[in-house]
Amino acid sequence: MSLRDGEVVVMGGLSQQKDSTVSTGIRWLPSFMDGVSTGTGRSDIVLALQVQKL
């Protein structure tokens, strides 16, 4: 691979997705009074290099 001064190349990266579910409630209360919360998170990391002549 050859690059010119100032050009950028993306070398690679990682991606992560996390799903979560949380249940809340009190044991002695009926189940219809329980709560459920769900969420999704995503993280991305990218490695990029820029050429600079000295």
Taking the domains of the chain in order of start, what are their residue ranges? 7-51
pLDDT of residue 25: 86
1-54 pLDDT, tens digit per residue, is: 888 899 999 999 999 999 999 998 888 888 778 899 999 999 999 999 999 988
| C-alpha to C-alpha distance for 52 and 37, rounded to whole angstroms | 49
pLDDT of residue 14: 96
25: left (phi over 0), alpha (psi -120 to 50) or beta: left
pLDDT of residue 27: 82
| C-alpha to C-alpha distance for 54 and 50, rounded to whole angstroms | 13
pLDDT of residue 2: 86
What is the reported pTM? 0.52
